[in-house]
Structures are given as C-alpha cells and as structure tokens.
Structure 1
C-alpha cells in the first residue's frame, strides 16, 4: 500500500499547481555610505509576491561591506530569493566574498545553474556584452576582441546548461545583461553593444521559456520579446513599471 502524503508534500504540490507571483528588480547599487535602506521594500514584496528575483548590480562597487548592508536588509524578506550578479558586483575583485555574503543571506545565486521553487524553474547567468542582431560583435581581429566574444559565448553556453536543468513547465530566465535590443532602447545607441547580446536570445529561443528578466540598462524600455516570442522585461529599479514601484510583478 502506498504511503499517504504528509502535509508538507501536499502543500508543495498545491504550490506547484498554482500561479506564482514573482517580484523582480535589479540594479540596487547598494553603496557603503549613503544608500537608502531596502528593508521596508523587501517586507512589502514579501506580502505582494511569492518569490523575489534580483537581476544583478546588487552592490555599487563589489565591496564586501556593500554586500553585508544588502544582506542585512534582505533579512526582512520572508519569501524565497533568487539572484544573479551584475558587472558592478565584480568591480573591486572581491566577487567570491560578495557571493558568499549574498548566499549566506538565503539567496539562491544562479551562476549557470537552475533551481525550482513552487513549480517554477529559474535559470540564470550574468550574461555579457556583444551587441544585437546584424551588429553583434564577431570573433575576428585582435586577441582582445576575440577574448570579448569568447566571454559572451561562454556565458551563453552556461545559460544553455542551466536551461537544460529545468524540468518545470514554467521557466523564468534571470540575467543581468539584456538578450534583445528592444529593452535597452532609450539608452544612447552608441553603448548598445555593451548592454547585452543577441547570443543570449538565440539560446533562450531553443527552450520553452515563459519569461525573461534582466537589468543593466537603467534608461531602457520595460518590455520586449525575443525573436521566438518569449516575453522580456527590463526590471532595473530605475525603469518605470506597471506596478509604479521599483519592482515588477509577474504572474507565472
């Protein structure tokens, strides 16, 4: 005779079968001095959403002290937390310490990996630059250019590996850099190549992805789609969102 499911199993199955509200935001840029506290915002999000997603640039200069300040604020968040790092989190060369602090705060840090929470699969990487469409940078010329393209390809491969781990029917891709040009429009066109890469979108469109969130482009556009039709949301805290808040609220 099969064992009757316990209450914990039943609760997990119920969560996996209902829509999940995901609060997503990025580019907090927590500074060592002078940054606002996010405690009240994280407490509010805990009431409004089931899961919090942070899309990188959690710190301003990648200092461990900045990460500690953010970790202290994250204690007011009572829902599961998922994140990727951004380029600012690498600035000071203390990225391993920053990662450890963020993880110790209870955040599931995605680094080419995936996790399932309440029936939703989250796959994420930082991503990298390289440009979009016909203007995407190719691996030709000086070693420095080839190294830049290689980094972009490497991040794309890590995203592909993460997406292969997702077994849920609902999948949210978490990035820092943009996968499409549409959500960086509003920024100066001269810097588009440094804001993301179409290589990310090409990989995303090979998988059944429900939605994509990213940050990085502070003056970009909130919403767009990959060529394959996956919804993409620029959730940098500076971007105007339907919620009227610093965070977007997605229902998956």
Structure 2
C-alpha cells in the first residue's frame, strides 16, 4: 500500500491454464508482485476444470508474493471436479471467493462467479419451461449471493470480483447473439445498492476494457485477451 493509503490491485481473468501447458505465468506473477499490493483472478483459471491444471497454476503462483483473490469461471466447472480444483487453489494460498468477502489493507473484496441471463430489457424472465425457470433461478441465486456477501463488508472501499459481466458495455464486440450468455444485469442491480469502488470481470474475450453500471460504478473487463492501459495483460487499479 502506498503512503497515501491507496491499494494497488492487479486484475486479470481467463488464464485458461492447460494440462499440456508449454508456458507459465511465473514471470507475470513475479512482475505483478513488484507492481501491485494484491492480485485478483477473475475466473476461468483452468481451461477444462482439471485438477492437474489447478496444480500447474498453483505452482506458478509460488512466484507471487502478494495476496491473491479469485473467483471461478465456467471453464473451471467443465470436468465436474470443482471441489478438488478449489481445494488445490486454496491450499496454494488463494482466497477463493464464492459468495464471500475478504479484506486486504482496508479494502473489501467480494466475489461470486455470476451467471448468464442477459441485460436490461432483454433479460431472460422466469416464464415457460422448467429449464428456463432453472436458468433464471440460478442467475437470481448468484445475485443474491453477491448481495449477502456485500452486507458483510465493513470497509468503505470495496472491489467486486466476478467472472460473468454485470453490464453489456464491457462485452461489446462479442456477437450480439451470445450477449445473454455473457452475464446479467441482475449483478449490476445489486452492485448499485452498495458503496462499491470498482468491479472486475472476465469471460468476454472480445469485449472492451471499461464501462459503468447504471449507478456509475466503474466496471473493468480484465480478461487476459482484452487490451488494457499500459499494454500489459493485467489491469492495475488503485483503490
């Protein structure tokens, strides 16, 4: 933390660590440790949700000397081994959030994966087949988990960590046909009820870096593939 009490947070999503990885993130994590006070990982930490992929990420994270906060993404669920993946990451020191909050140097970090559902007037409604109602229930459930976690934050500064997007602006550039599968405005509705400094998410590899919730909270798409200020694969935020 700087002398004026500002916490520098490096944020990146969609690492998609593969079992047959030929490169690592060790040098990047070492760089982040020099540049930031904390590292945030915005989901899709693994490519297929395999425990071995989580182990490779855990090995790379040994190069990181600052606290690490993370949420899971949809890819991390692919192999139905999410409990094992989560255990491996937590044992590596990652503060893996799934409807919880944690605090670092006076800044509250609140994390959920989020879910699909669409944005604004185009949000999917709970009408029709049971399968549609189940999707909406899952989306509402993630929003409620975010709200419950926000209520536990005592800090005046909070960063919300998601995988799915809470607004359409930061997924602009993706095909319009898949917008409903990139996030949900229900997340933004919750965020705007609380004193949030910023939001980070991933998932939309072809989106844009920055947008705002209807209430004016800055939202940053920190997917690895997104062009960011400074030209590095991570965003550096000051909170």
RMSD: 1.1
Does residue 73 (structure 1) correspond to residue 60 (structure 2)? The answer is yes
Of 92, 96, 106, the match for 1:119: 106
Q: Which residue of 2 aligns with 1:103?
A: 90
Describe the SS at the equivalent of 1:75: helix
Decide which of 147, 162, 168 is 2:155's aligned counterpart.
168
2: distance between equivalents of 1:196 and 1:68? 28
Q: Which runs of 5+ in 2 are unaligned?
A: none
- Alpha-carbon distance, 1:15 to partner: 7.2
Q: Any runs of at least 4 consecutive aligned residues in structure 1 with deviations exceeding 2 A, and if so which?
A: 14-17
Which of 218, 226, 233 is matched with 2:213 structurally?
226
Instruction: Specify the alignment match of 2:188 in structure 1.
Output: 201
Q: What do the CA deviations read for 1:131-184 (whole angstroms, capped 9, x no partner)?
A: 000000000000000000000000000000111111111100000000000000
Render the CA deviation track for 1:186-220: whole Å, top value 9, x for unaligned: 00000000000000000000000000000000000
Equivalent residues in 2 for 1:15-34 (5 A)? 18-34=5-21
Alignment partner of 1:239 is 2:223:
no
Q: 2:177, 2:216 → 1: CA distance?
A: 26
User: Take 1:74 and 1:81, find their aligned partners in 2: how far apart are those partners?
Assistant: 9
Q: 2:78 is matched with which residue: 77, 84, 91?
A: 91
So what's the TM-score if we normalise by structure 1? 0.93
User: Is the CA contact 1:16–1:119 (under 8 Å) kept in the aligned structure 2?
Assistant: no
Shift in Å, 1:36: 1.9
Match of 2:43 in 1: 56
Give the unaligned 5+ runs of structure 1.
Answer: 1-13
Cα distance in 2 for residues equivalent to 1:119 and 1:163:
15
Please say if residues 17 and 119 of structure 1, whose CA atoms lie closer than 8 Å, have aligned partners that are also in contact.
no
1:216 lines up with 2:203 in the alignment: yes
What residue in structure 2 maps to residue 5 of structure 1?
Answer: none
Structure with larger Rg:
1
Alignment map for 1:174-189 (pairs within 5 Å): 174-189=161-176
- Does structure 2 conserve the Cα–Cα contact (< 8 Å) formed by 1:16 and 1:120? no
Alignment length, in residue pairs? 239
